Amino acid sequence: MRERLGKLTENLDYTLLIAVVLLCFYGIVILYSSTRFGYGVVGENPLFYVKRQSLWIASGFLLLIMIILVDYHNLERFSLAIYIFSILSLILVIVVGRITHGSRRWLYLGVFPLQPSEFAKIALIIFLADFLSKNKTKMENFTYFLLPFFYTGLYILLIFMQPDLGTSLTYIVILIIMLFVVGSRIKYLLTIFLVTFSSFPVLWHFLKDYQKRRILVFLNPNLDPLGSGYNVIQSKIAIGSGGLLGKGIFQGLQSQLKFLPAQHTDFIFSVLGEELGFIGAVLLLFLYIVIIWRGIKIALEAKDIFGALLATGVVSFFLFHIVVNIGMTMGILPATGLPLPFISYGGSFMLTNLIAVGLLLNVHLYKIKW
């Protein structure tokens, strides 16, 4: 234990930790700005969302501490159990989950609504890191190379029943990047890529109407200027009108007038962009870059392939969420409904983010010394 505490103080990645803490603070401020007029049904109490989010952050940091207290190599032993558990939780959602806004994503354990599909992202990263690090050489064989697609496919199948396009895509991106990093043949990856693209017309049939509409509206916002397209147009006006310095915190016209849809969850970046301008947005991106940069560094210095894969999995998870969410609010990527790490309101997602950071920190504790 003493040795472990020594490692903790010696090898803890303070830069990463500070960036995460700053991001959480940043998130709380923006969340307050976007919800203080009582957004949504809850109304009245201007601190309602801020209080809840703070509670989630606090519990997230507790989880994070618990994670770095245990050697991450223990995860290898439990990876299959974690995989099966997360699959079961996704099945449970389909069976007993609660429906909000037309999709079944939530599981009510007591008073806390949990979204198993978020935690499943971590489960997938752990499982794939273990599987790929153990079977690295076998991946030369194409049939073997397809196995992880099967494992991930099971998640996607279950998520599609919810249905949640954004989350499904996150799983795929995590899988592809981890496969790439572990050294899979580029030829294989390209084959998969081509097959997926050519089967797109078939996949199209499996999409829910609203998902089809989102993609179509993305391609041509004028199809639905007051529905899905409206969101994007209003969001663009908000971000664009922020200009260089922004209108000042709590001063956003668009945001405070609630022209913006889901402005405390998926579209929270629009509030930030409007009120704090280009400078505020760049500050946010800078903090993200710090996290990603530390993540890559941790992967490169990892003691073993398992650690390196855990780190790249987490990096790809963050990267995809950041790019897709911000791209969506700026109207350059389709509205897939992926939240913004550390900033968007949402308990399960916040916990998932902090667990992911815990994994990064953990891998870093055992880094090789040059």
Partner 1 sequence: MKDSYQIPKEIEQRINWLLILIIISFLFLLINLWHLQIIRGGEFQERAVKNCIRSLVEEAPRGQIYDTHGELLVNNRPNVIVSVIPAEVDNLEDLSIRLSKLINLPSEEIIIKVNKNFENPYKPVKIFDDCPQHIIIEIEENKDKLKGVILEVNPRRNYIYQELAANCLGYVGEINKEELERSENSNLQGGDIIGKTGLEKYYEEFLRGEKGGKEVEVDALGREVATLLRKKPVPGNDLILTIDKDLQRFGEKLLAGKKGSIILSNPQTGEILALINQPSFNPNLFANIISYEDWQRLSTDPNYPLTNRAVQNTYQPGSTFKIVTGLAALEEGISNSTRKIYCSGKFTLKDQVFSCWKKGGHGSLSFVDALSQSCNIYFYIMGMELGINRMEKYMQKMGLGEEISIDLPEVSSGIRPSAQWKQRELNEIWFPGDDINLSIGQGYLLVSPLQMHSIICAIATEGLFYRLHLVKQIISAEGQLVQNFSPVLLRRIDISKETFKLVKEGLRATIVKGTGWRANSNEISIAGKTGTAQNPHGENHAWFVGFAPYENPEICITVFLENGGEGGEAAAPLARETLEYYFRM
In the complex, the residues that contact partner 1 under the rule CB under 8 A are: 37, 41, 99, 101-102, 177, 180-183, 224-227, 230, 236-244, 253-254, 256-259, 273-274, 277-278, 281-282, 285, 288-289, 292, 296, 299-300, 302-305, 308, 312, 315-316, 319, 322-323, 326-327, 330, 332, 366, 368-370
CB of 287 to partner 1, least distance (A): 12
CA distance 174 to 125: 7
CB-based contacts of 156, cutoff 8 Å, min separation 6: 168, 171, 172
Looking at beta carbons only, is 60 or 307 nearer to partner 1?
307
Looking at beta carbons only, is 60 or 331 nearer to partner 1?
331
User: Buried (b) or exposed (e) across 288-320, using 16+ Cβ within 10 A?
Assistant: bebbbebbebbbebbbebbbbbbbbbbbbbbbb
Q: How far is CA 100 from CA 97, 106, 113, 138, 325, in A?
A: 10, 8, 11, 43, 21
CA distance 113 to 175: 27
CA distance 118 to 324: 16
Q: What is the DSSP letter of 97?
A: P
Looking at beta carbons only, is 75 or 351 nearer to partner 1?
75
CA distance 172 to 152: 7
CA distance 41 to 267: 18
Looking at beta carbons only, is 178 or 354 nearer to partner 1?
178
CB of 115 to partner 1, least distance (A): 17
CB of 3 to partner 1, least distance (A): 15
CB of 154 to partner 1, least distance (A): 25
Q: 6, 360 in Cβ contact below 8 A?
A: no
CA distance 283 to 84: 39
Looking at beta carbons only, is 281 or 354 nearer to partner 1?
281
Longest CA span, the chain: 63
CB of 311 to partner 1, least distance (A): 9
CB of 116 to partner 1, least distance (A): 20
Q: What is the DSSP letter of 339?
A: P
Looking at beta carbons only, is 273 or 347 nearer to partner 1?
273
Q: 290, 297 in Cβ contact below 8 A?
A: no
Q: 147, 120 in Cβ contact below 8 A?
A: no
CB of 202 to partner 1, least distance (A): 27
Looking at beta carbons only, is 15 or 199 nearer to partner 1?
15
Looking at beta carbons only, is 8 or 290 nearer to partner 1?
290
CB of 312 to partner 1, least distance (A): 7
